[in-house]
A and B are shown apart, each in its own frame.
Chain A
Amino acid sequence: MSAAAAAAGPSPVERTEQRLRLAAYGLVLLIAVAIPFFLGSYRVGQFTLVLAYSVAVLGLNLLVGYGGLVSLGHGAFFALGAYTSAILIEEAGLPHLMTVPIAAAVCFAAGFVLGLPALRIRGLYLALVTLAVAIAVPQLIKRFDGLTGGTQGLNVAQPTAPGWVPLADDQFLYFLTLVLAIPMFVLAANLVRGRTGRALVAMRESEVAAKAMGVDLARLKTSAFAISSLYAGVAGSLYVFSIGFVAPESFPLTVSFAFLAAIVVGGLATIGGAIFGALFIEFVPIYASDVSDALAGVIYGAVLIAFMYALHGGVMGVLRGTGRRLASRLSREKRKEPLDEPPQPNVAPAASDSPATRPPTITGS
């Protein structure tokens, strides 16, 4: 592709790719709406959890995938959101939906505070701090048992379908979660496409260069942490709605690790990857525990390592590559003329592949 062609706007291949992408979004949305009508209530419950997890995974990906700030403690914010909702529903008697923005706000504030050390701490040190936070959280929950119910946990009434909705409770809960999750995805997609997303990616690639280009690193880091924990908090709320119970044991360190595994599987620095990641962390343990309690962990560990070696783009990377190949084949068939050069299945569409959509590359440091 010549420079002139790139400047003239999207090439036919890119336009086809765009259409394919839209078709994929439509298909995913169609499946998401159809799920509760074709599956039993147990399965619907599992997919409700997938939606809740996907929101947390998405938030973590904003921080880790786009911003390059490694957090191993997102289970802590997930727990904070869950407990905020649980306590507000059970103790203060608030309606379910009202607790979601409050949980989001609480986690936003907590994330902002944890983001403050991130101003001075970089790379692996940050991972270390967040890991310590994640380990401390179950202990803190147990310690403040007056509020949290201690090791006994809290039972929370689940939302029920109002009379005018012709849905069973599990279907209603699923759609409630879906309706809350979709805006989170749209917001995240807009965020990374805009100024903030570009600044995050610039910071990931080089803090010095980002600073030189006028990125306010301090503000960016704290707000990235805050927004990312807001997502985890909303996910925590949704988790409580769907499980109806919280206890310190619901939030072991493995939750934080699972979220990290999910973004690696779905694809670092992708939006749609959160869904695949969430499917992975919901269903792999369920099927693995049939074989052995330890198998899920073995798979998580092996997958984390294997993806970092071989599939840096995760599932989304594979899908994008396939879409690109498909698009170039489709647009070539449409032209119906023989090519004078051999077909190049892997044409890199330079114009559409903005840095924000590219997975982080391994660079020597």
Chain B
Amino acid sequence: MEELIQTIVDGVAIGSLYGALALAVVLIFRSTGIVNFAQGEMAMFSTFVAWGLLQADVPLGLAVVMTLGIAFLGGMAIERILIRPVEGSDPLTMAVVTLGLFILLNSAAGWIWGFETRSFPSIFPDDSVQLAGADVAVESLGIVALLLAVVGLLYLLFQRTKIGLAVRAVSVNPESSRLSGISVGRTLMIGWGIAAMVGALAGILIAPRLFLDVNFMGGVLIYSFAAATLGGFDSPFGAVVGGWVIGVTENLASTYVDFIGSDLKILVPLTVILAVLLIRPSGLFGSHEVARA
């Protein structure tokens, strides 16, 4: 029983991290229709920035805040320079461009910071608390709380501010938004900035668990794609719930199904993606895609 509770709580924690990255993917997909394959690598790059700041003796808290700021600016720059010229083109072009960004960021990080594996400090104390008779790490609870806080802030941002309203308007109809005086380009830049920031936070929270190297977000990206697919790809709420489901399923499967173990964990997201797309392509909370020929 204790093991079960621990497995589940840990699954929710790791699932929150998948959910955070999925949230970043969904934010960009909603506003531009682009599945950003480089989202994980953007987060990886940001985490390395945080690591670099730590090496320069910047205190952890300040390093995290600075990194989030840098990620925001970096996301805006990527949208303006790389994505703007191909916005609205066919899926192949967009997939190739974000893949190019994926490879570029991965290699650039290797060039700048090397290919070694590094440890990254957790922003939470290394402690545990009793929960229903099981020891639960403070880190796990902290991650879940932080994700909920991020979702709450994003909700407020989108529903209660003018910028949020503009982002929602642009995602529904860029043409009409432009006619009503919204700067579509600037709004999309802000969307990419926010997504990059959420991704960076995910990276910083995952790095202590997986250790930091240039490829550490590759697997996480697939899990968060699975989370986003399960949630419905255009639903931020769905992304978070999807993340939890994936995280818990993955942990339960690798603990209790011998065949899967720790080697074949990757089959969990793959199966989920396939199953969702085949059975219910719009996911749990997504809106149905309506295509006009």
A362 and B86 within 8 A (CB): yes
Of A98-106, A121-129, A317-325, the one contacting chain B is A121-129
A298–B269 touching, CB < 8 Å: no
Q: Are B91 and A136 in contact (CB under 8 A)?
A: no
In the bound complex, do residue A64 and residue B89 qualify as a contact, i.e. CB atoms below 8 Å apart?
no
Q: Which residues of B contact A (CB under 8 A)?
A: 34-35, 37, 82, 85-86, 88-97, 99-108, 110-111, 115, 218-219, 222, 225-226, 229, 263-264, 266-267, 269-270, 273-274, 277-278, 281, 293
Given contacts A309-B85, A363-B89, contact A131 B110 (CB under 8 A): no
Q: Chain B residues near A143: list those with CB within 8 A.
A: 263-264
Which residues of B lie under 8 Å from residue A304 when comparing CB positions? 96-97, 99-100, 103
Q: Which of A142, A294, A308 contacts B96 (CB 8 A)?
A: A308
* Contact yes or no, A209 B86, CB < 8 A: no
Cβ–Cβ < 8 Å partners of A360 in chain B: 90, 92
Which chain A residue lies CB-closest to B87?
A364
Compute how far the CA of A363 lies from the CA of B263 in the bound complex, rounded to whole angstroms: 42
CA distance A264 to B222 in the complex (A): 24
Q: Which 10 A-B pairs have the closest CB atoms?
A: A297-B107, A301-B104, A304-B100, A294-B111, A123-B91, A301-B103, A208-B293, A305-B100, A294-B110, A124-B35
Known: A70-B91, A127-B91. A132 touches B104 (CB 8 A): no
A129 and B273 contact, CB distance less than 8 A = yes
Q: Is A346 an interface residue (CB 8 A)?
A: no
| With A257-B103, A363-B89 as contacts: A117 and B219 at CB distance below 8 Å | no
* A136 contacts across to B, CB distance below 8 A: 266-267, 270
Known: A128-B225, A206-B293. A135 touches B219 (CB 8 A): yes
Contact B86 A309 (CB under 8 A): yes
Residues of B within 8 A of A218 (CB): none
Binary contact readout A34-73 vs B (1 if CB under 8 angstroms, 0 otherwise): 0000000000000000000000000000001000101010
List, in ascending order, chain A residues with CB within 8 A of B88's CB: 364-365
The secondary structure that dominates the B interface is: helix
Q: How far is the CA of A129 from the CA of B281 in the complex (A)?
A: 13
Residues of chain B with a CB closer than 8 A to A68's CB: 90-92
Give the residue name and chain of the A residue nearest to B289 (CB): A122
Q: Are A127 and B277 in contact (CB under 8 A)?
A: no
Q: How far is the CA of A127 from the CA of B92 in the complex (A)?
A: 9
Interface contact tally, CB-CB below 8 A: 147
27 intermolecular pairs with C-beta atoms under 8 Å apart: A64-B92, A68-B90, A72-B37, A72-B99, A117-B278, A124-B94, A124-B95, A127-B95, A128-B35, A128-B229, A129-B277, A131-B37, A135-B219, A257-B99, A260-B99, A293-B110, A294-B110, A295-B107, A297-B103, A297-B107, A300-B103, A301-B101, A304-B97, A305-B97, A305-B101, A308-B96, A365-B88
A120 touches B277 (CB 8 A): yes
* CB of A274 within 8 Å of the partner chain: no
- A143-B264, A293-B110, A301-B102 are known; give 20 further A-B pairs, CB within 8 A: A64-B92, A68-B91, A123-B91, A124-B91, A128-B273, A129-B270, A129-B274, A129-B277, A131-B37, A135-B266, A139-B266, A209-B293, A294-B110, A294-B111, A297-B106, A303-B100, A304-B103, A308-B86, A308-B100, A363-B89
Do A70 and B95 contact each other (CB < 8 Å), given the known contacts A131-B222, A301-B104, A305-B101? yes
Q: With A70-B95, A292-B111, A301-B101 known to touch, is A125 a contact of B277 (CB < 8 Å)?
A: yes
Distance of A47 Cα from B278 Cα, bound (Å): 42
User: Given the complex, which residues of B lie within 8 Å of A300, measured CB to CB?
Assistant: 100, 103-104, 107
Judging by beta carbons under 8 Å apart, are B263 and A142 in contact? yes
How many of chain A's residues have a CB under 8 angstroms from any CB in B?
A: 53
Q: Which residue of A lies closest to B219 (CB)?
A: A135
User: How many Å from the CB of A291 to the closest CB on chain B?
Assistant: 10
A209 to chain B, nearest CB (A): 7
Residues of chain A contacted by B264 (CB below 8 angstroms): 139-140, 143
Q: What residues of chain B lie closer than 8 Å to A122, measured between beta carbons?
A: 91
Residues of B within 8 A of A208 (CB): 293
Minimum C-beta distance from A52 to chain B (A): 22
* A132 adjacent to B35 (CB under 8 Å): no
Is A253's CB within 8 Å of the partner chain B? Answer: yes
A135 touches B281 (CB 8 A): no
Determine if A302 is an interface residue (Cβ-Cβ < 8 Å). Answer: yes
CB distance from A212 to the nearest CB of B (A): 9
Residues of chain B contacted by A261 (CB below 8 angstroms):
103
Q: Is the CB of A132 within 8 A of B270?
A: yes
A361 to chain B, nearest CB (A): 9
Partner of B90, one of A120, A133, A297, A365: A365
Q: Is A82 among interface residues, defined by CB-CB distance under 8 A?
A: no
The docked-state distance in angstroms from the alpha carbon of A257 to that of B26 is 23
Least Cβ–Cβ distance between B30 and chain A, in angstroms: 14
Q: Quick one: given A68-B90, A293-B110, A297-B110, are A121 and B103 in contact (CB under 8 Å)? A: no
Q: Is the CB of B278 within 8 A of A120?
A: yes
Interface centre among A140, A292, A297, A309 (most CB of B within 10 A): A297
Given A131-B222, A139-B264; A363-B99 close (CB under 8 Å): no
Chain B residues within an 8 Å CB radius of A127: 35, 37, 91, 95
